[in-house]
Structure 1
């Protein structure tokens, strides 16, 4: 019988329970998912919770509908969509996200310094100018922050890396907006963050991979501290 693990919201817990059944092989590809009523009874949750969990699994490509026959495990039971896990508060764990960004963006800056071209540098400069000219327009500055880091990743010339970073950027967009808002309340305002980006750009423009990596590390560690998070 299906059993719930303990984290997250009820919907997340139902999703995790169904995923566990698929991973264990108890629910195999093309097999029929228990009915909404059966899942509700087995997992001791409301049918609306089950319905929402099933909708998420369908959106992720894990379940497919057959009209009149219910839901079935797809032939790609691991799904076609990547989601970041949530914490027990139902929100993404910011400390772990910053740590993942640290690992990713250090390497991205290093590779970008070796592979960037004039077009990549122009995009970075344009984003820098927006951040520098509009430090108190948090919507503009945070969007430029995203553009700056996207330009660095694009300079790596790896389509797979770019696709993953685009996904991650979408997850972090709200966090970057909050970061710029937080900066306005700190000594020096947004200037430290703007200076960190400028230093990264200078190292990448100069083609100095190690310096670019060091600047990326310093930027991410400082950005995390502005959220009260110490990395390392």
Structure 2
């Protein structure tokens, strides 16, 4: 019997319940998913909630449609899309997100300092200039923030890392916008964040991997503190 267990949105609960059934083997590959009406009754949610959950599972590659026959479990029932926990409604645990970024971005900055070329530095400088020139335009500054970090990752010259960071950047874009908006309420506004980015750029430009790593750590720790989070 399907059961709801996660304290998230109703759609996420339905998605989790269906995934649990798949994981337990009660809905194996190629099995037909219960109808929208059946799921609605079993889970005590509206059919529109079930419809949205099924749509998400199809987008993730967990379910496939057969015209006139309904939805079926795909041959790859774990799906093909990775989502950050809670990212669909913007409540992913910020402390864990910052910790993950700390692990990733320190290494990225270090490698970038050793591998960057003039084009990489120009892209970083352009993004840095936008952040410094438009501190009160949160949409523009946050987009430049994303591009600055993408330029660092691009400097690492690793296609797999770039693909993962592009995904991650998309999931965290709203968080960066909130960070720039949040900075307006703090002493100095966005200037501290711009200064931290400038330090990272200077270390990468100088080709000093350790200094770049140290600057990246200082930036992430300071950014977390602006949200009231202490990274250890």
TM-score grouping bracket, smaller chain normalisation? over 0.9
Structure 2 match to 1:196:
196
Structure 1 match to 2:3:
3
Q: CA deviation at 1:140?
A: 1.7
Structure 1 match to 2:108:
108
Structure 2 match to 1:84:
84
Structure 2 match to 1:143:
143
Whole-angstrom CA distance in 1 between matches of 2:54 and 2:13: 12
Unpaired segments of 5 or more residues in structure 1?
A: none
Structure 1 match to 2:75:
75
Whole-angstrom CA distance in 2 between matches of 1:150 and 1:182: 22
Matched, 1:217 2:217: yes
Secondary structure at 1:32's aligned position in 2? coil
Q: CA deviation at 1:143?
A: 1.2
Unpaired segments of 5 or more residues in structure 2?
A: none
Whole-angstrom CA distance in 1 between matches of 2:177 and 2:35: 42
Secondary structure at 2:189's aligned position in 1? coil
* Residues matched between the structures, number: 231
Q: Is the 8 A contact 1:29 1:73 kept in 2?
A: yes
Whole-angstrom CA distance in 2 between matches of 1:213 and 1:192: 18
Please show how residues 56-67 of structure 1 align to structure 2 within 5 Å: 56-67=56-67
Q: Is the 8 A contact 1:35 1:70 kept in 2?
A: yes
Whole-angstrom CA distance in 2 between matches of 1:184 and 1:55: 38
Structure 1 match to 2:38:
38
Q: Is the 8 A contact 1:109 1:204 kept in 2?
A: yes
Cα deviation 1:158-207 (Å, max 9, x = unaligned): 11211111111112222212212222222122111111001111111112
Structure 2 match to 1:52:
52
Whole-angstrom CA distance in 2 between matches of 1:167 and 1:53: 22
Superposed CA RMSD: 1.5
Whole-angstrom CA distance in 2 between matches of 1:176 and 1:3: 36
Q: Is the 8 A contact 1:8 1:90 kept in 2?
A: no
Whole-angstrom CA distance in 1 between matches of 2:22 and 2:153: 35
Structure 1 match to 2:173:
173
TM-score normalised to the size of structure 2? 0.94
Matched, 1:164 2:164: yes
Structure 2 match to 1:96:
96
Change in Cα spacing, 1:90 to 1:6, as seen in structure 2 (3 Å) is farther
TM-score normalised to the size of structure 1? 0.94
Q: CA deviation at 1:32?
A: 0.8
Q: Is the 8 A contact 2:66 2:72 kept in 1?
A: yes
Matched, 1:22 2:18: no
Whole-angstrom CA distance in 1 between matches of 2:24 and 2:191: 51
Q: CA deviation at 1:66?
A: 0.4
Q: CA deviation at 1:90?
A: 6.5
